[in-house]
Amino acid sequence: MKRLLFTLCAVSLVAISLSAQPPIRVMLLDGEMNPYHRWDLTSPVLKKILDEPGKFSVDVVTAPPQDSAMGSFMPKFSDYQVIVLNYDVPAGRWGDALKKSFEQYMTNGGGLVVIHAANNSFPEWKEYNTMIGVGGWRNRNEASGPYWYYKDNKLVSDPKPGNAGSHGNRIPFPMKVVDPNHPITKGLPPIWMHQSDELYAQLRGPGNNMTVLVTAYSDPANRGTGYDEPQLMVLNYGKGRIFHYAPGHDVAAMSSVDYVVLLQRGTEWAATGKVTQKVPDDFPTPKSVAYRVDISKMDPGPAAPRPAVRAANK
């Protein structure tokens, strides 16, 4: 009996100490509107997803959309363990001081999560492209680095000339784990169906220190390349960790259960280097998608009006 009581006490002490873990401090950074990516709609979804496990404390920081107001924009990155970028930034928007501050943050061991079109950002910023490994659009081409894709189950870097970035229509597609031993992918099924999304292809960049975790087949029948294209990647920059998460075009894509789970796992890993969360039972299978109704309901539909601040940014 004594032993049982002792065990119970020990278990509750462990439980208390676990629940007393301070939350991981997350900056969700957005603020640049373009015709394609509605951060005003997707940031509330990302925040909801990160709030759910009770592990993260999320502050949303919205950058001013105009160049004229950027001079005073200097968020304190070092107050956070990880920056989640839902932010598609054109060339030249950030000044040198802001860029240096972010480079310093990452060099010193910061965390970065790159959401979908955040890999279109900053084509001119060499260090950012080193952090994200590959990117698309905004005049990226062979000067940005080779194409990276999987052919015959091997990662290939292809220097042939051409523009970076393409995708077909938004349809469901299978995701395939190529590195099952990383903390983010450990315990996931080897293949699952992802809810309808843009499958990014033809990404190019330096690809330094890049480990591809998950790929998806870019089907020529849907304007694809015929290759398995990298979708989830991890990288290091100095002491910093980067989780590059290429899916997630809109609210519908983000409602996919795998999207929710991998955002939570990838953000924890980028912040701490570990993943302590379990893969839930409703994770999608190789045959069928699974999506969260409470999140898909957050999509107001294509006719949703833009707030005035976004109209001013055209």
Among 153-161, 226-234, 245-253, 278-286, the segment contacting Zn ion (CB under 5 A): 245-253
Chain center to CA of 311: 26
For the CB of residue 45, give the shortest distance to Zn ion in the complex, in Å. Answer: 14
Q: Does 198 bind Zn ion (CB under 5 A)?
A: yes
Total residues in contact with Zn ion, by rule CB under 5 A: 2
Residue closer to Zn ion (CB basis): 182 or 249: 249
Give the tokens for residue 297. Answer: 């309901």
CA distance 259 to 16: 30
User: Which of helix, strand or coil describes residue 144?
Assistant: helix
Cα gap 168→292, rounded to integer Å: 24
- Identify which of residues 249 and 292 has a Cβ nearer to Zn ion in the complex: 249
Q: Where are the alpha helices (DSSP H) in 202-250?
A: none
Q: Shortest gap between Cβ of 69 and Zn ion (angstroms)?
A: 25
Q: How far is the CB of 117 from Zn ion (least distance, A)?
A: 5
**In angstroms, what is the minimal distance from the CB of 116 to Zn ion?**
6
Cα separation, 139 vs 163, in Å, equals 7
E strand residue ranges, 78-120: 82-85, 111-115
Interaction mask 86-105, Zn ion, x per CB under 5 A: --------------------
Neighbour-count burial of 89, counting CB atoms closer than 10 A to its CB (0-12 exposed, 13-18 middle, 19+ buried): buried
- Report which residue's Cβ sits closest to Zn ion: 249
Closest CB to Zn ion among residues 140, 249:
249
The region that residue 237 occupies, defined by phi over 0 for left and psi between -120 and 50 for alpha, beta otherwise, is beta
Tokens of 92: 């030249």
Stretch that binds Zn ion, among 8-16, 46-54, 209-217, 246-254 (CB under 5 A): 246-254
When asked if residue 32 is in the footprint of Zn ion (CB under 5 A), the reply is no
Beta carbon nearer to Zn ion, 166 or 185: 166
Q: What's the min distance (Å) between Cβ of 40 and Zn ion? A: 15
**Minimum separation from the CB atom of position 139 to Zn ion (A):** 17
Task: Please pick, from the candidates 138, 249, 265, 292, the single residue that binds Zn ion as defined by CB under 5 A.
Answer: 249
Residues contacting 78, CB < 8 A, separation 6+: 105, 108, 110
Residues that bind Zn ion (CB under 5 A): 198, 249
